[in-house]
Amino acid sequence: MIQDIYPHKLNNQYDLKAVPSPNSPVLVFDGPKVLADTNGWFRIPSAEEVGMDKELVFLFRLDDTAYFLARSFKDEIPGYKFTDVRAIRDLEDAEKHHKFAIMTGKHLSDWYRDFTFCGRCGNRMNKSEKERAMVCPECGNTAYPRIMPAVIVGVINGERILITRYRKGYQHNALVAGFTEIGETLEETVAREVMEETGVRVKNIKYYKSQPWGMASDLLAGFFCEVDGSTEIKMDENELQYAEWVKREDVVLQPGRNSLTNEMMMAFKDGRKDLV
C-alpha cells in the first residue's frame, strides 16, 4: 500500500523550528495538481527554485529530509509542470515514498487552504506558534488538522466477493466504500454503505487494516463481512455503474498496488479464508 515505504519513514511530528535550506523539497499544489518534473524521472522543486523569500510551511520529514509547503504560490517554474496527483499515484517512475509524501502533503495543503479564514467569525487565521493548528486572533477558535474517516468493505458471499465500479472518477474495480456519518460507528457505516450502494444486508463485520489517503483527506478503514440473507443486488445507479458477485479467481485487480481496496481484493483472490 502507498504508506508501506519501509525502510523509508515519514515522520509527521510538527517541528516549529524547522527552516528550509536551499535544497529542501517544496510541495506546490494548485487544486488537484502538484508542481513536479515527470519527464522520465520524478522530482519536485527545491526551496531555492521556488524562492527562499516565499512563505514556506514545514510539513513533515521523510527520513531526515524536511518537506515544506509553498502556500499561495501558483507560478510555473521552468522544468516543472502542474500534474494531477491521481496521475502521479500510478506513475511508475516515481518511488512510493515520494508518492506517499505528495499525498500526505496534499492533505495538509488542503487543510491549510480551507482554514485560511475562521469558520466561526470569518477573520483571517494565523499559524499557531505552539503546535500544528490555525488560530483565530479575533475569537480564539483553534482548528487542528481534519481527517475524514471512511470505510472500504469487502462483502463476501462464499467464494465470491462484491466488486463495484464507480459511475464517476476512478474507473477500475473497487469495493463498496463511503464516509462515516456524524454519530455513527465504523461498523454502522459498513452496514449502511453496503445497503445503500447494493441493497445487501451484512453480518460478521471484521476489521482488516487502515490506510491514510491524503488525496481526499481520508483515513480509510477496511472491513470484511459476509452477506446476511438475500444475495440479490439492487445497485445505486447514481453512484455505481457496476456491482456484481465475482469469483475469487476472476477478480481483476487495480493497475497500481497502492490502495487498501486493491490489497483487500488481492487477499480474497489469493484464497485467504480468515478474512471473516
Residues that bind Zn ion (CB under 5 A): 118, 120-121, 123, 136, 138-139, 141
Residue linked to cell 527552516: 19
Query: Least distance in Å: CB of 141 to Zn ion?
Result: 4
- What is the closest distance, in whole angstroms, from the C-beta atom of residue 128 to Zn ion in the complex? 14
- Least distance to Zn ion from the beta carbon of 120, Å? 5
Neighbours of 145 (CB within 10 A): 16
Smaller CB distance to Zn ion: residue 19 or 139? 139
Q: Which residue, chain included where needed, has cell 504508506?
A: 3
Taking the complex as a whole, the smallest distance from the CB of residue 69 to Zn ion amounts, in Å, to 23
User: Smallest distance from the beta carbon of 25 to Zn ion, in angstroms?
Assistant: 33
Nearer to Zn ion, 21 or 123 (CB): 123
Question: What is the spatial distance between Cα 105 and Cα 258, in angstroms, rounded to a whole number?
Answer: 17
DSSP string for 133-153? -EE-TTT--EEPPP-EEEEEE
Q: β-strands 65-70, 81-84: how paired? A: unpaired
The dihedral of CA 235, 238, 239, 241: what is its sign?
A: positive
Sequence-separated (6 or more) residues with CB below 8 Å from residue 188:
none
The residue among 113 and 120 lying less far from Zn ion, judged by its C-beta, is: 120
For residues 126 and 204, which CB has a smaller minimum distance to Zn ion in the complex?
126
Nearer to Zn ion, 133 or 195 (CB): 133
